[in-house]
A and B are shown apart, each in its own frame.
Chain A
Amino acid sequence: MTISKKKKEKNNDKKFHIAEILEVPRDVALGDSIITLTGKREMLIENYKGIVEYDEQFLKVKTKNGLIELEGNHFLITYLTDEEIKITGQIKKIKY
């Protein structure tokens, strides 16, 4: 298990280098998610995989490279599509 993890990390580093040399955007190359925050009210997450938990005060979103947790009040999913999700509400904590 650890070997495959190491391999993965090596692969990732390689990819990272290639991406840097070719100046390819990182979310395309590495599958990173782009988070756009507008103050404390709005958050747009692009390139996500799915919703794990959703509550009025708690939201957990799964991405390729990990989980994003949001805590706050009056959460409302404005819209969601295949690749992006927009949330509005009073955001108090963001955790990776």
Chain B
Amino acid sequence: MLLEIWKYLRGYVIINVSGFSPERFINLCANRGIYIWNVKSVNNGFNLYISAKGFKLIRPLVKKTGCKVRITKKIGLPFRFLIFRKRKIFLFGMIICMAIVFLLSLFIWKIDIEGNSMYTDEHLIKFLNTQSHFVGMWKKDVKCSELEKILLKNYGNINWVTCEMTGTKLLIQIEEGRNNIKIEDLSKSCDILSNKKGVIVSIVTRTGSPKVVKGDVVEEGDVLVSGTLEIKELEEIKAIEFTHSDADIYMKTIYPYHDEVNLKYVNKIYTNNKKKDKALKILNFKLNLLKPRIKYSNYDKITTCDEICLFDNFYLPISTHKTSYEEYKLIEETYTNEQATNIINENMTRYLKELEDSKKQIVNNEIEIIESTDKIVADGIIVVIEKIGEKKYFDENERRQGYEEYFREDDSNTP
């Protein structure tokens, strides 16, 4: 098998030897070390296979033996290259093509971002551009670990980043986390203040001294649970201690609601006139194939962009853009009262559902829908019970000083 491959690589010829003494010719060939095989006797002489190299050496032998030699067939790789002699440009073109593809594979042609919902792809890609990572950069210039650090630092909501480079694609995977859980320092003392105005519905205190009870009306900023523990003996304060307050406080508050819908509105109706355009974009050059003249005054331009990629990860900087221009007309229309009322109701239901989803309990809604000549208005309040409480840390020493004076006074009072 290997010998066959070797023979093919070197090239061989099938020749027909006829004449005076072909046997002598064969003997001479053998003596000179010229490789011959598959010798077959035919009518006038011999058909034999001879190596291409050997064939060049048989000229004097042919003369010596007085034979006639004719080539029947040429087989082998070297003979293929001779065909290319006339098609040099083809070969040249093939080499250039391979070189270009190889060269293109040294750049990054696509940046892919996965796992992001809060930040858009474009936003993150713009940020990467400012960090000198853009489509069309050298692959060796990509610094993955630095990118990861910078992304984590600049975006508080990103919890985990990996950057990977496969083929000509830069892949960035992100895991976002909402509201990083603050690690509370339970040794630091704090009060709990109210952040809204309302009526206390229930209060369960775990640590700290509560300053309000169920039914109290509180304003924004009032202290609900204090971190100062006054240790009393018969109505007299004997000692002060400070603690980290912790409590569950539920309050009834009011959310105002206002919504308006105009009866007259402008509607966007698509007339079915469309025009299509196709463009090819290589690197940064854009070639438009068609160029329709657009006579519409109002239209939507919708473009889809497809990038060419071989083998899944090997993107090339060639993309096709298909644009379609769709005309629309702006028509003034009026809602009927019913339609407008429906819209208002839908909006209201949606808002109420949002409130419920964020764990607020709706007690009552007093929303009035008022119809007037040119609009319908929904106005009113929603009464909600929600959990409130803002922790505010204080400085122990300052507070203590406040009580010092009290103690000193007290001391001076006692006989």
A interacts with B = yes
Whether B27 sits at the interface, judged by CB under 8 Å, is: yes
Identify the 9 closest CB pairs spanning chains A and B, nearest first. A77-B39, A79-B37, A50-B27, A56-B41, A51-B23, A80-B30, A54-B23, A76-B40, A55-B41
Residue in contact with A81 in the complex, picked from B23, B30, B38, B46, CB distance below 8 Å: B30
Q: Which residues of A contact B31 (CB under 8 A)?
A: 50, 82
Instruction: Look across to chain A and name the residue whose beta carbon is closest to the beta carbon of B46.
Output: A54
State the B residues within 8 Å of A (CB).
22-23, 26-27, 30-31, 33, 35-41, 46, 48
Whether A53 sits at the interface, judged by CB under 8 Å, is: yes
Q: Which of A34-63 contact B (CB under 8 A)?
A: 50-56
Query: How many angstroms from the CA of A78 to the CA of B27 in the assembled complex?
Result: 15
Sample 15 A-B pairs with CB under 8 A, ordered by A number. Answer: A51-B27, A54-B22, A54-B23, A54-B26, A55-B41, A76-B38, A77-B37, A77-B39, A77-B40, A79-B37, A80-B36, A81-B30, A81-B35, A82-B33, A85-B30
Question: Are B38's CB and A78's CB within 8 A?
Answer: yes
Q: Which residues of A contact B39 (CB under 8 A)?
A: 54, 76-77, 80
Instruction: Look across to chain A and name the residue whose beta carbon is closest to the beta carbon of B37.
Output: A79
State the A residues within 8 Å of B (CB).
50-56, 75-82, 85
Query: How many angstroms from the CA of A51 to the CA of B30 in the assembled complex?
Result: 10
Question: Are B30's CB and A50's CB within 8 A?
Answer: yes
Q: Which residues of B contact A77 (CB under 8 A)?
A: 26, 37-40, 48
Query: How many angstroms from the CA of A79 to the CA of B39 in the assembled complex?
Result: 7
Query: How many angstroms from the CA of A50 to the CA of B23 in the assembled complex?
Result: 9
In addition to A50-B30, A54-B23, A54-B26, 8 A-B residue pairs with Cβ atoms within 8 Å of each other are A53-B23, A77-B39, A77-B40, A78-B37, A79-B35, A80-B37, A81-B35, A82-B31
Query: How many angstroms from the CA of A52 to the CA of B26 in the assembled complex?
Result: 10
Shortest beta-carbon distance from B3 to chain A in Å: 10
Interchain pairs with CB closer than 8 A, number = 44
Residue in contact with B30 in the complex, picked from A53, A54, A56, A82, CB distance below 8 Å: A82
Shortest beta-carbon distance from A59 to chain B in Å: 9
Query: How many angstroms from the CA of A62 to the CA of B26 in the assembled complex?
Result: 13
Shortest beta-carbon distance from A41 to chain B in Å: 16
Q: Which residues of A contact B40 (CB under 8 A)?
A: 76-77
Shortest beta-carbon distance from A78 to chain B in Å: 6
Q: Which residues of A contact B36 (CB under 8 A)?
A: 79-80
Shortest beta-carbon distance from B94 to chain A in Å: 37
Instruction: Look across to chain A and name the residue whose beta carbon is closest to the beta carbon of B29.
Output: A80
Question: Are B23's CB and A75's CB within 8 A?
Answer: no
Query: How many angstroms from the CA of A79 to the CA of B41 in the assembled complex?
Result: 13
Query: How many angstroms from the CA of A2 to the CA of B38 in the assembled complex?
Result: 43
Query: How many angstroms from the CA of A82 to the CA of B37 in the assembled complex?
Result: 12
Query: How many angstroms from the CA of A55 to the CA of B30 in the assembled complex?
Result: 18
Q: Which residues of B contact A78 (CB under 8 A)?
A: 37-38
Query: How many angstroms from the CA of A53 to the CA of B24 in the assembled complex?
Result: 9
Query: How many angstroms from the CA of A77 to the CA of B23 in the assembled complex?
Result: 12
Query: How many angstroms from the CA of A55 to the CA of B22 in the assembled complex?
Result: 11
Instruction: Look across to chain B and name the residue whose beta carbon is closest to the beta carbon of A76.
Output: B40
Q: Which residues of A contact B22 (CB under 8 A)?
A: 54
Instruction: Look across to chain B and name the residue whose beta carbon is closest to the beta carbon of A83.
Output: B30
Instruction: Look across to chain B and name the residue whose beta carbon is closest to the beta carbon of A88.
Output: B38
Question: Are B26's CB and A51's CB within 8 A?
Answer: yes
Shortest beta-carbon distance from A47 to chain B in Å: 13
Question: Are A52's CB and B38's CB within 8 A?
Answer: no
Query: How many angstroms from the CA of A51 to the CA of B356 in the assembled complex?
Result: 108
Shortest beta-carbon distance from B33 to chain A in Å: 6
Q: Which residues of B contact A82 (CB under 8 A)?
A: 30-31, 33
Q: Which residues of B contact A51 (CB under 8 A)?
A: 23, 26-27
Question: Are A54's CB and B41's CB within 8 A?
Answer: yes
Q: Which residues of B contact A79 (CB under 8 A)?
A: 35-38
Q: Which residues of A contact B30 (CB under 8 A)?
A: 50, 80-82, 85
In this complex, which of B22, B27, B35, B39 has the most chain A Cβ atoms within 10 angstroms of its Cβ?
B39
